[in-house]
Each structure stands twice: as C-alpha cells, then as structure tokens.
Amino acid sequence: MVIVFYRPPKSWEEIEAEDREKAASQGITYTAWVEKRAKKKARVIPKEIRREVLARDNHQCVRCGAKKDLTLDHIFPFSKGGSNTPENLQVLCKACNFSKGNSVTSKKAETNKNE
C-alpha cells in the first residue's frame, strides 16, 4: 500500500509572506529579494540563443578550436551584470572556460591584444 500526501499549492499571499521572511532574515528589502531571485532564475540561456551562438562559432571553442566538452560563456560575466544576448556569449570548451573564470575577455579581445 502506498500513502500519498497531497499538499495544495501555495497561494500568492503565502509565497509573498515567505519571501518577505527570507528577505528580512538576510537584512534586505522585499523588493531587493524579488530582484535577486529573478536574476538568479534568468541565468538559464534560452535554447534558441544557444543554437544561434553555437552555429555562429561553428560548434567549436573560439580559443583553442576544440569540438568536445563545449560550454557557452558570458564575455561580460553574468555575475557582473552580463546579459544572455548572443553578442555577450561565446563558445568555449570546459578547459578554456575554467581558465577564463569570471574575467572579461573574448577571442576578439585576445586577438586585438596580440596585434
């Protein structure tokens, strides 16, 4: 026999009350909490943009040319306010992305630096 507990979905009022408590516990305003949560969720890059950036960069790392273990990298880091627009994204392999960290660089910037 399986016992299933049904928990009805929370109302908007309950969700708001919980968010206000969380904001207060962190010492920030409710508005700041909502903005922080929204920004955190916005980190997901839409599939259409992923496809566009991968096609633009020929499905290879723009630094070393690798075609395996590819990731999308924010040229201007998301953690510093960078957006999920194709102009701010580039394809990097995991190794190059890890070595870049959250610095602001791109293949174009590196090429110009060497000239």
pTM: predicted TM-score of the whole model, two decimal places: 0.57
* pLDDT tens-digit map of 2-19: 666 666 667 778 878 888
Q: Does the domain formed by 47-114 have CATH 3.40.640.10?
A: no
Name the 3-class secondary structure at 72. strand
In DSSP notation, 6-69 reads: --PPPPHHHHHHHHHHHHHHTT--HHHHHHHHHHHHTTSPPHHHHHHHHHHTTTS-TTT---SS
Question: Higher model confidence: residue 54 or residue 36?
Answer: 54
